[in-house]
Amino acid sequence: MVLVNLIGAALIGLIIWWFWLYKPRETSINDDNLIVTVENGSYFPAHIKLPKNQAAVITFLRKDPSPCAEVVMIPKLDINETLPLDKPISIEIPGLKAGEYAFHCQMQMYRGVLNVG
């Protein structure tokens, strides 16, 4: 029973580390343009590195038919855009100050972050 409890505690630790503490690898934007695919409940890539004060274009390509995937929002930039299925939609990101800018669907189930710095 002690072993089971230890495994349970380790599992809780793993959840906390994996979802909240771990800093995932970020994808840098090359040539000021990046394609983010919306598929299977997620954005790929979901963690994007952007240099500060540099404008960029992120093209979202939605392949996920779920209505949840239909809108992408970047609340700090007051951007929200409807993503038609299978149609690339480009969003211009202005030059930004250093910081994290979350992007997500309306329900926050699909989530990603622009890490500017």
Partner 1 sequence: MVQAGSQVPESEHDDHSAQSDGEQQELFVEDASCASCVTKIETALGSVPGVQRAEMNLAQRTVLVAGSASAIKLIDAVENIGYHARSMENTSDNDVLAEREKADQVYYQRLIRNTVVALGLGIPLMVYGLFIGEMTVSTTTERIAWLVVGLLTLAVMVFSGKHFYVGGWKSVRTHTANMDTLIALGTGTAWTYSMVVVFFPGLLPEMARHVYFEATTMIIGLINLGLALEVKARGRTSEAIRRLIGLQTKTARVVRDNKEIDVAIEDVTPGDVVRIRPGDKIPVDGVIVEGHTAMDESMLTGEPMPVEKEVGDSVATGTLNKTGSFLFKTTRVGKDTALAQIISMVKHAQNSKPPIGRLADVISAYFVPLIMIISVTSGLLWLNFGPAPTIAFAVVSATTVLIIACPCALGLATPMSVMVGVGKAAEAGVLIRNGEVLQTASSITVMVLDKTGTITLGAPKVTEIVLAAADNEDEILGLAASLESGSEHPLALAILESAEERGINTSVVEHFNAIAGHGIEGVVEDKHLYFGNEKLMRDKGIEIDAFTDRAQNLASEAKTPMYLAADGKLAGIVAVADPIKEDSIAAIKRLKNLGLRVIMLTGDNRATAAAVAEKVGVSEFFAEVLPQDKTNHIAALQMENEVVGMTGDGINDAPALAMANVGFAIGTGTDVAIESADVTLMRGSLHGLADAIAVSKATLTNVKQNLLGAFIYNAAGVPVAAGVLYPFFGILLSPVIAGAAMAFSSLTVVMNANRLRFFKAQEH
Residue 85 touches partner 1, criterion: CB under 8 A: yes
91 forms part of the interface with partner 1 (CB under 8 A): yes
Q: What is the maximum span of the chain, computed from C-alpha positions, in angstroms?
A: 56
Is there binding between residue 57 and partner 1 (CB under 8 A)? yes
CA 35 to chain centre: 12
Match 């409940």 to its residue by tokens. Answer: 41
Please choose, from the candidates 93, 109, 87, the residue with its C-alpha nearest in 3D space to the C-alpha of residue 49: 93
Q: Does 27 bind partner 1 (CB under 8 A)?
A: no
Shortest CB 117 distance to partner 1, Å:
19
Residue from 33, 52, 95, 99 touching partner 1 (CB under 8 A): that is 33
Q: Of 41, 35, 36, 37, which Cα lies nearest the Cα of 69?
A: 41
Q: Does 54 bind partner 1 (CB under 8 A)?
A: no
Dist CA 114 CA 96 (whole Å): 10
Give the interface with partner 1 as residue ranges (CB under 8 A): 1, 4-5, 8, 11-12, 15-16, 18-20, 22, 24, 30-33, 35, 37, 39-47, 57, 59, 61, 65-68, 71, 73, 75, 78-82, 84-92, 105-112
